[in-house]
Amino acid sequence: MPRPGQQLHPHREPVATRPAATVLLLRDAPGTGGLEVLMTRRSAQASFAPGAHVFPGGGIDALDAQSHSVADRRPAQSALHLTQAIAAIRESFEELGVLLARHADGRMADAQDIAAIDRSQPFAAQCAARGLRLAADSVYLLAHWTADRDLARRFAVPFLVARMPEGQVPVADEAEQFEPLWVRPADALARHEAGQFFMIFPTIRTLQRLSGFAHTQAVLDAVAHERPLWVSCPRTGLLAGRQARYMEDEAPFGELALVCPDGQIAHPLDWQSERPVALLRNLQRLTAPNPGVMTGPGTNSYLVGEPATGFIAIDPGPADAEHLDKLWRAAGGDIRAIVCTHSHADHAPGAAPLQALCVRAGNAPPPILGLPSAPTARAASRFTPDRALQDRESLVLQAKAPERGIHTLQVVHTPGHAANHLCLLLLEDGLLFSGDHVLNGSTTVVDPPDGNMADYLDSLERLDACCVQHGVEFILPAHGYVLGDARGALARLRAHRLAREARVLAAMQALPRGSLEDWVRHAYDDVPQRMWPVAQRSLLAHVERIRALQPGND
């Protein structure tokens, strides 16, 4: 983790969460079929999400945990999940008059039962008095949401799912909830986009996930394993001056976790190349104005250091005079070294002109450091540094008074994307600068002969070991936002590569006389066709690795 003294914002403790439960009552649309979910509108005077369209639910009461004896339970259903299911059943009855309960003979509760139970009185006891058992065994865990760290009121909420009992009709309490309606997830989302159906972030994201299911049974089948399909505590940043929330699997999440760990809504997420973006007190990012299909929003140049120690520039990018001038000015003209993670044209060409800029300002020339390009490099990627870095070498920035600052970058040789590719670890803060080896928002191209898939996968394993050794939680890529959950990101990337390789092998086996173009059509049919020429380079790298591992696949 970054040192607390390097954080941009003072620590603040997020508000403690309160336990609650929400239930999504599902049905297949009468006549036409297709999944529908029951939603209702909250009171405009509600203290939380006033006027929003929501699923029924609310806080968990002490009586919910004391009502296990009147509820049916699946063998694998934990005590906590049973309490949550009971709370959801109670809330759906109190708010919408939907009763998930059974008679002893297995019949679901009917209109007579519903009319006999007072919504304002203790719920479970009334059900038991009528010989009803709560159908908690038919309520499954879909997801778990914890409210954003920035909110003044925060809930920890399991989102549960159940099939709507046949013959029952929802009737709102007209106090907390109004206007119950059945709606297809896609229709609710379309109405929200049109400004006609206000919903809060967890509701929107849940409907987006639900829209991928064709019918109720498909949802119930997906959650039968007793584990949530997702768990999320979103984070919020600023995009075009407005608040924007993101889940853990969305690109900006890791950056927000690094810059605003306690949920401060202060970090701009807009991509621009006009000014550097502060990520920590000792870390700035300036994105070069070279956006494109292969570079995403542009090449990220990083400055590590502070005025007391001077700065190391990582990946100066293309030889763009304005970009390099901004990088130099962001360092106050005090650049002590320039490091190139590899020699590709969007990373290294700016090194020499940045060095010259420092010299023209009257400073000693900062050395250009990296690994020389291998003979396999393409002509546009030829690179000779002033000094070749050694694997595990440390580059140290230290103030004259040591207590005022020290920043140590350790070199890790990571061939794969390019033979001379290296990554850098900022040891004191547990950060990994990944160059092009790990990206956010796209997959690295491994282009033989300079690229090698076996080396690439081995380097991923080496980076994972570095993360364990140095407690790395964040990856700073050359393209895209900061990645959080460093080890998880590496594991997912490796799994993606191996899954792709399995598809390449299947294509080779199905079309043993096929060409690379034939195999790309089969192994990359989930990738836009315009990207197939690029994908073909990585496919070739997979083919080379497959043939090395299995010589019979020729």
Confidence check: pLDDT of 146 > 70: yes
Q: What's the pLDDT tens digit per position in 153-195?
A: 999 999 999 999 999 999 988 877 888 999 999 999 999 999 9
**Neighbour tally for 202: CB within 10 Å:** 24
pLDDT at position 1 is 87
pLDDT at position 410 is 98
Give the span between the Cα atoms of 100 and 136, in whole angstroms. 8
H/E element, 486? helix 486-510
Which residue, among 275, 281, 256, has the nearest Cα to 266 in the 3D structure? Answer: 256
φ/ψ of 239, rounded to 5, equals -130, 120
Asked whether the beta carbons of 437 and 444 are under 8 A apart, the reply is: yes
The residue-averaged pLDDT of 103-131 equals: 94
The residue-averaged pLDDT of 216-229 equals: 95
Please give the torsion angle defined by the CA atoms of residues 216, 218, 221 and 222, in that order, rounded to the nearest 10 degrees: -110
pLDDT at position 256 is 98
Confidence check: pLDDT of 346 > 70: yes
494 vs 177 pLDDT, higher one: 494
Confidence check: pLDDT of 553 > 80: no
pLDDT at position 458 is 98
pLDDT at position 98 is 96
Percent of the chain with pLDDT over 70: 99
- Mention every residue, 6+ apart, whose C-beta is less than 8 A from residue 528: none
Confidence check: pLDDT of 46 > 80: no
Q: Give the mean pLDDT of the chain.
A: 95
pLDDT at position 120 is 87
Give the span between the Cα atoms of 288 and 465, in whole angstroms. 31
Confidence check: pLDDT of 56 > 90: yes
Question: Is residue 342 very low, low, confident or very high in pLDDT (cuts 50, 70, 90)?
Answer: very high
pLDDT at position 32 is 77
pLDDT at position 174 is 81
Which two three-digit tokens encode residue 219?
A: 């949802």
Confidence check: pLDDT of 402 > 80: no
Confidence check: pLDDT of 135 > 70: yes
Confidence check: pLDDT of 527 > 80: yes
pLDDT at position 405 is 87
The residue-averaged pLDDT of 102-114 equals: 94
Q: What's the pLDDT tens digit per position in 367-381?
A: 999 999 999 999 989
* H runs (alpha helix) in 194-347: 201-210, 216-222, 253-259, 321-330
pLDDT at position 117 is 94
pLDDT at position 496 is 96
pLDDT at position 173 is 86
pTM, rounded to two decimals? 0.93
Q: Is the peptide bond before 449 cis (omega within 30 degrees of 0)?
A: yes
Confidence check: pLDDT of 554 > 70: no
Q: What's the pLDDT tens digit per position in 85-104?
A: 999 999 999 999 999 999 99
Confidence check: pLDDT of 552 > 80: no
Asked whether the beta carbons of 347 and 313 are under 8 A apart, the reply is: no
- Mention every residue, 6+ apart, whose C-beta is less than 8 A from residue 76: 226
Question: Is residue 76 very low, low, confident or very high in pLDDT (cuts 50, 70, 90)?
Answer: very high
pLDDT at position 77 is 95
* H runs (alpha helix) in 44-159: 62-65, 79-96, 111-116, 123-129
Strand partners, 476: 433
Give the span between the Cα atoms of 276 and 288, in whole angstroms. 10
Task: Average the pLDDT over each of 203-217, 391-405, 461-475 and give the range with the smallest value.
Answer: 391-405
